[in-house]
Amino acid sequence: MFDLAIVGGGPAGAAAAVYAARKHLKSILVTESFGGQSTESADVQNWIGTKHISGAELARALEEHAREYAGEFLDIRPRVRVSKVEKRDEGFVLFDATGKEVGTSHAVLIATGGTRRTLDVPGATEFENKGLTYCASCDGPLFSGQDTVVVGGGNAGFETAAQLLAYARSVTLVHRGADFSKADARTVETVCAHENMTALLNTEPVEVKGGAFVEGVVVKDKTTGKTRTIPAAGVFVEIGMIPSTELVKGVVELDAIGRIKVDCRNQRASIPGVWAAGDCTDGLYHQNNIAAGDAVKALEDIYFFLRAAK
């Protein structure tokens, strides 16, 4: 029986594995793959300590760092998807997609992240990573001095617009709803007051166009039915995320969109023995560095939880 089971191989899972091994907690790391969502990024510029790194290189670095500690205190199980976590009197049991038991542990850290909702219009798939992106923090600076479009009118959309306004020539935010009620009112007011900002309501993208790279977005006015093309070199999609939390549904408390509710002070979930870190949680902000920090914070708490229980 392990002290700790870590589920997920992104920045949170890898950080947790390193810290758990260094604290001599007998741990198991189970993950389908390493790297998390950033594996799709051609150039990650905000991973602290590294000026430039591709998503693929970041994934390799995370795996190599975790494997450096594999051995007596860390068992790594790659290419395994945990489909269910079950609470039992003696601890927790992990099951894979076939229903086979993967391992048992006294504590569990869920670091499974999530998947971004993708834009489902012609051209979106073809131009992904060729001007269309799902991460402004990763790719935004690449569009300095250029025209950009943000799809999505929630807080994430306006936060992305605020980032882009620092260096883009223009930002046009496209929202299919009739108002911006899903976003913080003060943020909306501040962002919309910028001279290079345009916010469109009742408007939806219907096509992404370009040659080798994105050149514009065709949008439709839902009121009139008319379409027009907005010139843009960069398209930033912020239409929500689907958290990967089915494995703990019914075990811990989830919010309205399925994210694990945690205490932000220590990353504890709603029942003793379960922690969560990164994009699968209801934390206010989600980035690679934040996910890794969440995991480190959780490990400090897990260590004292396990040692106090012995």
Beta-carbon count within 10 A of 39 CB: 18
Choose among 231, 235, 205, 198: nearest CA to 220: 205
Say whether 280 is catalytic.
no
Q: Tell me which of 75, 89, 138, 221 is the catalytic residue.
A: 138
Maximum Cα interatomic distance, the chain, rounded to a whole number of Å: 68
Q: Tell me which of 135, 147, 280, 294 is the catalytic residue.
A: 135
Gap between the Cα atoms of 209 and 228, Å rounded: 12
Q: Tell me which of 3, 139, 279, 294 is the catalytic residue.
A: 139
Say whether 264 is catalytic.
no
Say whether 138 is catalytic.
yes
Residue 230 structure tokens: 């907005």
Residues tagged active-site: 135, 138-139
